[in-house]
Structure 1
Amino acid sequence: MIMVLVCLPKFSNAVTLPAAAVAASQTQSSASDQKSEPSNDEKKAAWAALAAILQNDKSRQALIDQLNQASESPSTAATPTLTPPEETEDKTVLESVTDVSRHFGGQFLYRVQELQRNISEAPHKSFNKKTFFNAVSHFAMLAAALFTFYEVTGWLMTPLYRRMGEWGRKKNSDRTSWLHLPAMIVAAFVIDLLLLGIALFFGQILSDSLNGGSRTIAYQQGLFLNAFALIEFFKAILRLMFCPRYAQLRFFHLPDNRANYWNRRLSWLSGVIGYGLLVVVPIVSNQVNLQVGALVNMVVMGLMTVWALYLIFHNRRNIQLELQRLADRSLSFFALFIRAFALVWHWLASAYFIALFLLSMFNPGDSLKFMMAATVRSLAIIGIGALVSGILTRWISKKITLSPDLRRNYPELQKRVNDWISVMLKLARILTVFTVSLMLLSAWNLFDFWHWLTQGAGVKLVDIIIRIVMILFFSAVGWTLLASLIESRLASDSHGRPMPSARTRTLLTLFRNALAVIISTITIMILLSEIGVNIAPLLAGAGALGLAVSFGSQTLVKDIITGIFIQFENGMNTGDLVTIGAITGTVERMSIRSVGVRQDTGAYHIIPWSSITTFANFVRGIGSFVANYDVDRSEDSDRVNATLQAAVTDLMQDKAIRGMVIGEPAFAGLVGLTDHGFTVRVSFTTQPLKQWTVRFALDDKVKKHFDAAGISAPHQRLQVMQSGTEVDGAASFQSLPAPE
């Protein structure tokens, strides 16, 4: 039904101005031709029409353009005539759909009435038996000779087709190039068309020699040659798709029996419909009468439509399975469309033959030509679109490999370039699918693609797409260059380059994140402006929202500001050992709002910047420690100091430990005295975070040297009074060592 409505004449729904407005806008150059003064009603009508023009933006602009052209015309030129622009009425979508339905419904009824009138009122012609059989005999001789010639030439090309198929399959199996087999298939199709052209040339020569000077016979043979060209061209397309005789040139993976099945039935179906509508029906209508021709047309198309619908629904499930298997073997991009087509193919095919049946009732010859032409254009469009999409899909899967120097200097550049190229190719593939869809609608007269592209909304759409692509391209280039420079600075020193400091790494990381947010925001705003979105309210709303958020998120703002100042003051960096409040651990992550600290127990703490009042950093410049050792009071202090110095000397002979120590150890001697012992001290200055390693090694050496020298740690002593013994009236006391 859709095809029937499409082929009906188009209806012009432009609304013109009242005649009074046209008369009021025209000026006359001769005084003798002036009209009488218009009446008040005419003036009011003209004024109302002028007001309607000025109220409509399009008509007002058209009138302004005409006035500008009239004012710029040469003085010697004739007096310009102003034509009031057509008044366009803004309609809702529902009103537009109603108007279109009413228009096409009226046209369909008109066509049905015209068909009925032609059949019922057509003049009857007398049947001339001699002329009819004479024409049939000449017609049969031409058809037999032409079909024989065409079959023989096709049979002679059999060895060439087989070699082409074998060569293409061999190249395809070797995976040397995937284009060899499609090239051979297309070449075989071109050869088939050349044979068809030669056969038509041969048939025209036979027709000139067999018509016997009869215009009737020449007319009938001309009908046959036209039908032969159209039908055999369609059969050549079927052979291109199914290729029943040469499996090597078959593009689809179909068994021989399935390929023969569909090629034979579709060829027979197209032949009966084509020769029936293009040859039999015109001859019967011309030699007998229109009633019989219309009856033959209806019988042929009715039978063929019923048979086509039977074939469609009888093989619906098998074809769905074949399409599903084809989707499994295809690329993921094509698999989506193939699976979608597998679900609705039988409805599309049914609509195709029903539309052909209805159109053939109105115009038997032109309907078949239109359907075949639209079919061929659709297949060509789909084939070209699939080829372009396949090439783009293969390019998407490929990766660009940069030189080793570029990969070393810019570690993320190769990945980022490949990602952007992949996005651009996917966008081109989407545009290809969109263009193919519009061209398919245009092939069936459902949409005027060329007018839309050159004069309609397509001009603006193409301009917007070009602008969007250019904006995305420059944004991608800018972000890629800036991010690559930052990442180059952050690269490691595995290739001899100096390692950036932790502060530099942190600041560059924060700057890269801020740069990504800025570029993304600016790009989105520009894109919205290009597609027609007024971004002024967005900017105003963003400002108001930002003000409201600033009042409600003062802590967040404080976190950000404090974090920025700590970073610029180089307070801490990733990897530093710090103490923040009661938490001591290693800095693992620093963002613009918080710092992440990992304790030695494994606990991970996220600390907002604003909550940090003071902190200690153990890796700023140097590390140091003071070692105190307590010994028994009875030990000789000089011997203890000498033993401690010997332990330190032994420690400093270790090259690993010596590389951690800055300068020389400082001995303070005896620094503390108690009732039970005294304390000796030595202090070290070390590399950052090495003080614990040196302290542990020193403790080990000191213990070994003190044990070897017999120096003991201080012991606590207790006094015990013994009762029962009196010496001069006083108790006696004994000093005992305290238990350890």
Structure 2
Amino acid sequence: MPSCFPPLSAVRWLLLVILLGCGFAAQAVSLPAAAVGAQQQKSASRESTPSEEDKKAGYAALAEILENDSARQQLVKQLRDAGSQKSESSTTPVIVPPEPEEKTVLQSLTELTRQYGGAFASQFVRLHNNIVSAPHKSFNKKTFFNALNHFLMLAAALFAIYWLMRWCVSPLFRRMGRWGRRNNHQRTNWLHLPVTILGAFFIDLALLAAALFIGQILSDNLNGGNRTIAYQQGLFLNAFALIEFFKTILRLIFCPHYPDLRFFHIRNPSAFYWNTRLSWLSGVIGYGLLVIVPIVTNQVNVQTGALVNVVIMGSITVWALWLIITNKRDVQLALLQLADRTLSFFAIFIRAFAVIWHWLAGAYFIALFFFSMFNPGNSLKFMMSATVQSLAIIGFGALLSGMLTRWIAKTIILSPDLRRNYPQLQQRVNSWIHVSLKAARILTVFAVMLLLLNAWHLFNLWEWLTVGGGEKLVDVIIRVAMILFFSAVGWTLLASLIESRLASDSHGRPMPSARTRTLLTLFRNALAVVISTITIMILLSEIGVNIAPLLAGAGALGLAVSFGSQTLVKDIITGIFIQFENGMNTGDLVTIGAITGTVERMSIRSVGVRQDTGAYHIIPWSSITTFANFVRGIGSFVANYDVDRSEESDRVNATLQAAVKALMENEEIRGMVIGEPNFAGLVGLTNQAFTVRVSFTTQPLKQWTVRFALDEQVKKHFDAAGIKPPHQTVEVMQTGTDVAGAAAALPPPA
């Protein structure tokens, strides 16, 4: 809870002001040392003289101290102690603000409610006294009507001149509207129409400034040398400037006479309806409170002026609430239709505003009614100023957010060379830029909300940014943005370099080896984890989180996890060594244990193998003790062929060589074979057959293709040469008889 006591320097200055105000007769009394010290400081340096703002702050601080019983008693005691000390004392008494007393949230809320409730009630009492017990003023009929005539002459002349000036530039507005709308339809440049609308708005402001200049000249010549008439005409000129400026804002929004300069899609009857009624509202309120009420108060009496103020504002408030209730549904439907046509980002805010717009508008006019009761002139200026500031802030924020939204929808196209060398760079750059623009759009909305609160004096933005929490928040946001920026740039550069090595040969570059692709992929994943972890830790440190316990906890947790995840650590270490030894890569045909298949995926913990049956196996690295890789350098196979024992071995070998020769004449098969086939001749002999052998060395994974083609050729040549395969014999044993007499060999086949 913030302290309710001022700083020490403010208390000292206040004591000086209070004691000096008691008169020079009290100079014989010893001043408190704090006051004396303040006087010496003032005489020593003129630069330390408090400003008006310091004085106001000091008065407010002293009032807060005096309102608190315990704080007041402590301050009185310190003043008495300071006054009772001898003047020759070497020690200077110091007045220390009392320690703030701890209050609960309920007590603070009660005090705040009592404070504002009392102020509100006192304003009603003041209004009642102005109406009932204010002193009467004599009414001079001749003076009043003389001033009224001069006033009406100025008003009529000024309105006529202003209307004539705006009528003269109306053709220019029509041409500007048609030009901006035509370029907007042709989509040549979307900025043409907003620039045209703003140009027309500034021309309208220039006309208003010219009319005010002419009005001031007329006022100097139509006041008859009467200070009262000049004062009343000055009131009118001030009210004219304020009200017509607000009407200029209304014409910027609705633009009833020049539809082409209308920024929003509003039908002409609706635009004319709302522009007319809001203009009447602003005119009646402005001229009523800024002109009629002051003139009646000065020329008639205070009571009549207060009653006129109540009548004007009461009537306007009732009329405004009736307009809001009558048009509640129509405005809501129009806002929802506008949300359907606009961008999705703005549609959210428009739909939310469509639900609560009547509550906000009603609260606006009710607040204006109460403010005008207490302080007619200043309240209206404040409300109009806050309204214009709010419209300007919302308009600028919508324009900036719209530009950011359009930029988000665009894509940056890099040169063909960069896209060829760094395939993922364009996508990654666009993704980072889109995220940055979305963050900037969110910050824009946040800034608009703060500016709106500051415009209505609900929040002191400058103090919050300079001495409050805003300074730290802005500093943290800038630091976080810089950290994220450098992390994104670092990751983009490193990842792009890795991906450039992983690019295929579709652009004429050599294809990297499978081992290189695997290692680079693992390195990229590890790099992503490291950069993300470091960035998160730095961000937590920047936003005020003490990461020392996190690091200590992470170390203890890592120690505990290491004991429970020995298998995982073993998987990682084994996988790293297998990769560095180039044991297998993605796409290799391997046999791991009883599983033979193609390597589809390799991670830091396991390898994924797909069998020819379609089954997918995930095998941890630690479970691999031995494995076979069929694509390391060469492939080979040994072909054995069994023939009947009665065949001649030379003829069989010659026929086999003829089959191999016919196979090698096939250019496609010959390109798969490395070197020449190796004939081993007769390599096996049994009672029914003998075996001949030939072996081949092939390209990796081509041994099966060559073997299948060889089998086809051997069958053709063996069949053509009449070489018979070995015959199988079956021996039947009968139980219960002599084996020698019962055994009979089957007759040989024909």
TM range (shorter): 0.7 to 0.9
Match of 1:429 in 2: 441
Report the alpha carbon displacement of residue 426 of structure 1 after superposing the two structures with TM.
1.5
Select the residue among 423, 427, 452 that pairs with 1:411.
423
* C-alpha distance in 2 between matches for 1:89 and 1:442: 30
Do the aligned partners of 1:718 and 1:736 also contact (CA within 8 Å) in 2?
no
Matched residue of 1:494: which SS? helix
* C-alpha distance in 1 between matches for 2:114 and 2:449: 27
1:646 has 2:658 as partner: yes
Do the aligned partners of 1:716 and 1:738 also contact (CA within 8 Å) in 2?
no
Do the aligned partners of 2:731 and 2:743 also contact (CA within 8 Å) in 1?
no
1:327 has 2:339 as partner: yes
Select the residue among 627, 631, 641 that pairs with 1:619.
631
1:112 has 2:103 as partner: no
Do the aligned partners of 1:132 and 1:287 also contact (CA within 8 Å) in 2?
yes
* C-alpha distance in 2 between matches for 1:582 and 1:248: 79
CA RMSD of aligned residues (A): 2.6
Letter in 2 for 1:736: P
For residues 695 and 329 of structure 1, do their structure 2 counterparts lie closer, same or farther at Cα, with a shift above 3 Å needed? same
In structure 1, list runs of 5 or more residues that go unmatched: 1-10, 30-77, 722-729
Report the alpha carbon displacement of residue 681 of structure 1 after superposing the two structures with TM.
0.6
Do the aligned partners of 1:489 and 1:500 also contact (CA within 8 Å) in 2?
yes
Q: Deviations over 1:290-317 (max 9, x none)?
A: 1111111111111111111111121111
Select the residue among 241, 251, 263 that pairs with 1:251.
263
Do the aligned partners of 1:717 and 1:736 also contact (CA within 8 Å) in 2?
no
Match of 2:552 in 1: 540
Report the alpha carbon displacement of residue 735 of structure 1 after superposing the two structures with TM.
6.1
For residues 12 and 119 of structure 1, do their structure 2 counterparts lie closer, same or farther at Cα, with a shift above 3 Å needed? farther
Matched residue of 1:689: which SS? coil
Select the residue among 542, 563, 571 that pairs with 1:559.
571
Report the alpha carbon displacement of residue 94 of structure 1 after superposing the two structures with TM.
5.1
TM-score (norm 1): 0.87
Select the residue among 463, 471, 474 that pairs with 1:459.
471
Report the alpha carbon displacement of residue 454 of structure 1 after superposing the two structures with TM.
2.3
* C-alpha distance in 1 between matches for 2:701 and 2:464: 73
Match of 2:67 in 1: none
* C-alpha distance in 2 between matches for 1:104 and 1:579: 84
For residues 670 and 89 of structure 1, do their structure 2 counterparts lie closer, same or farther at Cα, with a shift above 3 Å needed? farther
Q: Deviations over 1:352-389 (max 9, x none)?
A: 10100010000001111000000111111111111111
Report the alpha carbon displacement of residue 422 of structure 1 after superposing the two structures with TM.
1.4
1:202 has 2:220 as partner: no
Report the alpha carbon displacement of residue 100 of structure 1 after superposing the two structures with TM.
3.2
Match of 1:725 in 2: none
Report the alpha carbon displacement of residue 233 of structure 1 after superposing the two structures with TM.
0.7
Matched residue of 2:228: which SS? helix
* C-alpha distance in 1 between matches for 2:667 and 2:214: 103
For residues 485 and 345 of structure 1, do their structure 2 counterparts lie closer, same or farther at Cα, with a shift above 3 Å needed? same
Match of 1:665 in 2: 677
Identity over aligned residues, as a percent?
A: 76
1:103-502 correspondence to structure 2 within 5 Å: 103-502=115-514
Matched residue of 1:562: which SS? helix
Q: Deviations over 1:18-75 (max 9, x none)?
A: 99xx99986989xxxxxxxxxxxxxxxxxxxxxxxxxxxxxxxxxxxxxxxxxxxxxx
1:736 has 2:747 as partner: yes
1:12-23 correspondence to structure 2 within 5 Å: 13-14=4-5
For residues 719 and 407 of structure 1, do their structure 2 counterparts lie closer, same or farther at Cα, with a shift above 3 Å needed? closer
For residues 400 and 93 of structure 1, do their structure 2 counterparts lie closer, same or farther at Cα, with a shift above 3 Å needed? farther
Matched residue of 1:668: which SS? strand
Match of 1:34 in 2: none
For residues 229 and 109 of structure 1, do their structure 2 counterparts lie closer, same or farther at Cα, with a shift above 3 Å needed? same
Matched residue of 2:682: which SS? strand
Please, which moves more after superposition, 408-417 or 610-619?
610-619
TM-score (norm 2): 0.85
* C-alpha distance in 1 between matches for 2:382 and 2:171: 36
Report the alpha carbon displacement of residue 613 of structure 1 after superposing the two structures with TM.
2.1
Please, which moves more after superposition, 417-426 or 371-380?
417-426
Matched residue of 1:629: which SS? strand
Matched residue of 1:736: which SS? coil
Do the aligned partners of 2:598 and 2:611 also contact (CA within 8 Å) in 1?
yes
* C-alpha distance in 1 between matches for 2:570 and 2:695: 41
Matched residue of 1:400: which SS? coil
For residues 648 and 296 of structure 1, do their structure 2 counterparts lie closer, same or farther at Cα, with a shift above 3 Å needed? same
Do the aligned partners of 1:410 and 1:488 also contact (CA within 8 Å) in 2?
yes
Matched residue of 2:266: which SS? coil
1:42-57 correspondence to structure 2 within 5 Å: none
* C-alpha distance in 2 between matches for 1:79 and 1:371: 54
Give the total of aligned pairs: 671
For residues 688 and 213 of structure 1, do their structure 2 counterparts lie closer, same or farther at Cα, with a shift above 3 Å needed? same
Letter in 2 for 1:242: F
* C-alpha distance in 1 between matches for 2:731 and 2:239: 135
* C-alpha distance in 2 between matches for 1:659 and 1:201: 98
Report the alpha carbon displacement of residue 664 of structure 1 after superposing the two structures with TM.
1.1
* C-alpha distance in 2 between matches for 1:210 and 1:24: 60
Q: Deviations over 1:505-536 (max 9, x none)?
A: 11111111011001001000000100111111
Please, which moves more after superposition, 235-244 or 112-121?
112-121
Report the alpha carbon displacement of residue 12 of structure 1 after superposing the two structures with TM.
9.5
Matched residue of 2:643: which SS? strand
Report the alpha carbon displacement of residue 95 of structure 1 after superposing the two structures with TM.
5.1
Report the alpha carbon displacement of residue 631 of structure 1 after superposing the two structures with TM.
0.9
Letter in 2 for 1:544: A
Match of 2:27 in 1: none
Match of 1:3 in 2: none
* C-alpha distance in 2 between matches for 1:85 and 1:151: 62
Letter in 1 for 2:392: A
Q: Deviations over 1:612-662 (max 9, x none)?
A: 222221112211111111111111110000000010011111111111111
Select the residue among 587, 592, 598 that pairs with 1:575.
587
Letter in 2 for 1:230: L
Do the aligned partners of 1:15 and 1:88 also contact (CA within 8 Å) in 2?
no
1:503 has 2:515 as partner: yes
Matched residue of 2:695: which SS? strand
Q: Deviations over 1:400-433 (max 9, x none)?
A: 2111111111111111111111111112111111
For residues 719 and 414 of structure 1, do their structure 2 counterparts lie closer, same or farther at Cα, with a shift above 3 Å needed? closer
Letter in 2 for 1:447: F
Letter in 2 for 1:164: M
For residues 143 and 24 of structure 1, do their structure 2 counterparts lie closer, same or farther at Cα, with a shift above 3 Å needed? closer
Matched residue of 2:506: which SS? coil
Report the alpha carbon displacement of residue 553 of structure 1 after superposing the two structures with TM.
2.2
Do the aligned partners of 1:664 and 1:684 also contact (CA within 8 Å) in 2?
yes
Report the alpha carbon displacement of residue 143 of structure 1 after superposing the two structures with TM.
1.4
